[in-house]
Every structure is written in C-alpha cells, then in structure tokens.
Amino acid sequence: MIGRGGRDLGGLPGTLAGLAGELREGAVSPVEATEAALGLIEERDGELNSFITVTPERAMEVARRAEREIRAGRYRGPLHGVPLGLKDLIPTAGVRTTMGSAFFEGHVPGYDAAVVEKLEEAGAVLVGKNNTHEFAYGTTGDRSRFGPVRNPHDTSRISGGSSSGSGAAVAVGLVYGALGTDTGGSIRIPAALCGVVGMKPTFGRVSKRGVFPLAWTLDHVGPLTRTVRDNALLLSALAGHDPEDPYSVRRAPEDFARDLGRGVRGGVVGVPSGFYFDGLDGEVAERVAEAIGALRGLGVRTRPVAVPLLRETLDAQRLVLAAEAYAVHAQRLRSEPERFDEEVRERVAAGEALLAHEYAVAQRTKLASLRVFDRALEGVDVLLAPTVPLPATEIGQREVRIAGREEPVRASLNRFTGPTNLNGLPSLSVPCGRTASGLPVGLQMVGRPFDEATLYRYAHALEQAAGV
C-alpha cells in the first residue's frame, strides 16, 4: 500500500509529485510503477471493489512507451508514466465503459472522452475503470451493477458516491490519482469519506465532451488524489477550452500548483453562519473547528459571513438534477425499467412529475445564488465549511440520526456540496482529521470562479500544518 507521503515497502514514492520527479530522473521507471499499481490492485481490490475493469496489457504497453520516451529525453511532464484510474462513466476507446449499469455491462465505446485525450497527451498510464454508483445517480456508492465499493478505513462502510471507486482506489494507494464526476458532490463526498483530496473545478473549466451525463448543467469532471499538490498537477493537465463542449469556457492554461509555496499568513477566510454548521455530527464539527484553528495558527484571519438562499439553492440543484436526469434516461425508463437498480429507477422516475415552470424558477435561483456567493466572498479569499455532515455510514444504511434528527443518508451526504454544483463555483475537499473510530473528515473550501489556485494554496497550507 502506498501512503500519503514517504515510500511504500517496494520503495516507490507515495505521492504523484514524488513519483514524477523520480520518473523524470530515471530513478524509477514507468514499467516499475505500473507493475506495482497492477500488483496492488490484484492484491487489495478484491476487498474494496474499487475497479470494474482493469487493463494490464494496455497499461503495460503505455508504460513501456513512456519509459522509452523519457529515456530519449522526450519527457512530457509530471503525469508521464504515472498510473491513474478513471471513473467508469468516462469513455475510453476499446475499453469497456459500463456506467455501473446493466444497460452498459458489455459496452465498449469507439472513442475517448476529452479528459482521456488530455491524460494520454500528458503520457499518463490509465490502468482501469473505477466503480461508480449506477449512472452516477447516488451519494453512497453502494448501488452499482458490480457491487458496492467499500471504504478502505472500514470495509463495512460506504466510500461515498458517486465516484466511489475513484475515492477508495486513491485512498488505499492503488493508483496515484483518479478522475471523478461531480453533479451534487460526487467527487467531494468520496474524497471526504475516504480521506483524500477532491476538486470540483469551476463549471466549464474541464471539458465534459464524451462523458456520460447525469445532468448537463450541473456535471463537472475533476481529480481525486492523496495530496493537494498532486491534485493541482492533475487539474493543470485536465483544464482547457474545448470548442466541442458547449459548456466549456475559454481560459488560458494555468499551473494550479504555482502558489503552493506562498503561504497564507495575512489571508482572510470566511466561515458561513447557519446552514453549513446546522445538523452536524459532533466529531465532524470538532475536526472542522480544529482545521479552522490550524489556519488561524498560520496567521489567517477568520470572518463570519452570511450566505443567504442556501436552502433554496440546494432545493434548486436537486430539482434541476431530477429534471435533467429524467431527460437523459426517459427512453430507457420507458423501454426497460427492470434493468435499472431499484433505487436509481425510483429517483429517475421521480423527475417525470416536475413542471416546466419549476425548472425555470430553479435556473433563476442559480443566478441569485451566484450573486449571494459573490457578496459572501467579498473581502475573503475562500469560504470554509464541512464537506459532509457525518462520517461514512454502513453499506446499505438509508437513514441516519444527526444532532437528534432522522434524515435520509442520501440527502444528508450532499447537503453541503450541492449548492456549488448549481452555481458552478470551484469547491475543494481536503482531509481535516479523523473521528475516534478512525473515519476521515473533510473540510470544504469554496472560492471565486476560476480561482482554483487560491483553494489549493489554502488547502496545501492546512495539509502541511496539520499533517493530514
């Protein structure tokens, strides 16, 4: 198992950045790194179920090519020769892509998603496809045609959805990073519950071309990694305008790791009152308070901020998701409803009853939410909040009691993440400690549009200070 830092028993670096440096210098070869990843997947993934499809022959072929290129002085950058995983919602030409569903159980696309093209251009070694909640329509990660993904910290518990396999595989060190998708929290939720770093970039920052949709106006693609620096390196390779994606925004390329060494002394962060701290598990509240205290110890000032309309924003996000998911799946629901997972089928079917004016109002709420967050971010660099209100629940558990109140697990998990899917603001989950039973807790940082570099700077400072 590869740790968050240092080296594993085989001598390989424990971070993407560390491995990249040794690959570039020739101290480690892409073949060695890929063989190690494939060996770990074979050894550990039977317990976790984080991969649906593994591609050893294809991965080794790419690794050998990367080794030849690096030896010949044709180094492509920090992803060259690095083993990575892909959520099985992201098509790869010639490799089975299932969406975690019986509908696509044997589906082999003939094209690559745009993000796959980006990773291949960067020389990354894609070792397989990570398990996902069926059609990415769930926060728990335990409803897949291929079985539930298990949390590496307690295999009786969920890893979080819908990028469940990506979060678990990164947490246990099977790969150095993985891509997920995020429509209501599906990158940040597994990042928080598995104890890794997960970024939902600004809407339009990363191309969605080719990725199977859940909700067109809410979907984001982003990276999960073990460290903040690794995450910034991966996003730097993924970001960029794509004229074939109608949602893609034209922005110049960026090095998102450029400010990690600047520190945060003298900075100001906003801590929202209400909503994000209501109905919160006691240990989660403690760990988040400790993380905020750690930032204060680094010379950061905290400021209470008001963020109105959060409940309305969350309700609007959930309505848009239900309406658009129904539009995506309506034909499948009419023709072969029995092929859906029962829970997913019920969620898809619920979208049929929504009215056009409700969708229109929800879209107007998006504009109001952007204005609200813009005001909340005046005079502060980032907003801080818990990523999710509770630690990982049991696999199959559907109700939970938090702060004396019963609520559905599914709704609880995306209560704090959903708002920024509606308004598209960048949101990063970074580990901020563990509960007494060893379950990870995540801190969410929200920033201005296209200001991912600032989120990474604060998250890196916390990571270094807290040693999480």
Q: Which pLDDT tens digit goes with each residue over 448-461?
A: 999 999 999 999 99
Is the pLDDT at 4 greater than 70, yes or no? no
Contact 444/428 with Cβ under 8 angstroms? yes
CB within 8 A of 242, min separation 6: which ones?
A: 114, 207, 209, 248
pLDDT at 10 over 90: no
Rounded Cα distance between 467 and 298, Å, is: 14
Helix/strand/coil (H/E/C) assignment for every residue in 416-449:
CCCHHHHHCCCEEEEEEEECCCCCEEEEEEECCC
- 305 with 186, same domain: the answer is no
> Is residue 258 in some structural domain?
no
Is the same domain home to 291 and 234? no
Residue type, 109: P
Tell me whether residue 69 is exposed, middle or buried, using C-beta atoms within 10 angstroms of its C-beta: 0 to 12, 13 to 18, 19 or more.
middle
Contact 404, 425 (CB under 8 A): no
- Are 355 and 437 in a shared domain? yes
For the chain, the farthest-separated pair of C-alpha atoms sits apart, in whole angstroms, at: 63
Q: Does residue 458 form part of some domain?
A: no
> What was the pLDDT predicted at 403?
87
- Helix, strand or coil for residue 319? helix
Q: What is the pLDDT of residue 9?
A: 40
SS3 per-residue string spanning 189-257: HHHHHHCCEEEECCCCCECCCCCCCCCCCCCEEEEEECCHHHHHHHHHHHECCCCCCCCCCCCCCCCCC
Mean pLDDT, residues 70-93 taken together: 98
Crossing angle between the packed helical segments 228-238 and 16-25, to the nearest 10 degrees: 70
Residues 122 and 233 in one domain: yes
- Which DSSP category does 118 fall into? H
Which CATH number does the domain housing residue 220 bear? 3.90.1300.10
pLDDT category of residue 8 using cuts at 50, 70 and 90: low
Q: Is the dihedral of CA 182, 185, 186, 190 positive or negative?
A: positive
| Number of C-beta neighbours around residue 303 at 10 A | 11
Mean pLDDT, all residues of the chain = 96
- Of the pLDDT bands very low, low, confident and very high (cuts 50, 70, 90), residue 409 is very high
Asked whether residue 372 falls in the same domain as residue 320, the answer is: yes
Q: Is the pLDDT of residue 467 over 80?
A: no
- Examine the domain organization and report whether 217 and 74 are in the same domain: yes
CA contacts within 13 A on the Cβ side of 391: 23
The verdict on pTM exceeding 0.85 is: yes
The count of domains in the chain is 2
Backbone angles phi, psi at 92, to 5 degrees: -135, 125
Asked if 436 and 283 touch (Cβ cutoff 8 Å), the reply is: yes
Residue 353 domain-assigned? yes
- Quickly state the pLDDT bin for 5 (edges 50, 70, 90): low
Question: Which residues, in sequence order, are CB contacts of 205 under 8 Å at separation 6+?
Answer: 220, 239, 249, 251, 426, 450, 452
Q: How far apart are CA 342 and CA 331, in angstroms?
A: 17
The arithmetic mean of pLDDT across residues 115-132, rounded, is: 98
Report the C-alpha gap between 194 and 68 in whole angstroms.
Answer: 35
Structure confidence by residue, pLDDT tens digits, 287-322: 999 999 999 999 999 999 999 999 999 999 999 999
Same domain, 305 and 224: no
Beta bridge partners of 133: none
Buried b (16+ CB within 10 A) or exposed e, 206-238: bbbbbbbbbbebbbbbbbbbbbbbbbbbbbbbb
Distance of CA 75 to the CA centre of its chain: 28
Strands 427-434 and 83-87: unpaired
Q: Is residue 341 part of a domain?
A: yes
Reported residue count of the chain is 468
pLDDT at 31 over 60: yes
Answer yes or no: do 226 and 281 share one domain: no
**Residue 130, φ and ψ in degrees, nearest 5:** -85, 145
Domain hosting 176: range is 16-238
**143 and 52 within one domain:** yes
Name the one residue in this structure whose structure tokens are 């848009």: 320
Same domain for 332 and 282: yes
Gap between the Cα atoms of 395 and 148, Å rounded: 8
| Residue 100 covered by a domain | yes
Residues 347 and 299 in one domain: yes
Contact 405, 342 (CB under 8 A): no
For the segment 392-417, the average pLDDT, to the nearest whole number, is 97
> 188 and 331: one domain?
no
Catalytic residues: 87, 162, 186
Asked, for residue 170, whether it belongs to a domain, the answer is yes
Q: How far apart are CA 118 and CA 108, in angstroms?
A: 20
Residue 455 domain-assigned? no
Q: 403: number of CA atoms within 13 Å, CB side?
A: 12
Gap between the Cα atoms of 259 and 121, Å rounded: 25
Listed in sequence order, the residues at least 6 apart from 258 whose beta carbon sits closer than 8 Å to its beta carbon are 453
In this predicted structure, the answer to whether residue 75 has a pLDDT above a threshold of 80 is yes
Q: Is residue 120 part of a domain?
A: yes
The residue-averaged pLDDT of 342-348 equals 98
How many whole angstroms separate alpha carbon 440 and alpha carbon 446? Answer: 20
> 214-262 pLDDT, tens per residue?
999 999 999 999 999 999 999 999 999 999 999 999 999 999 999 999 9
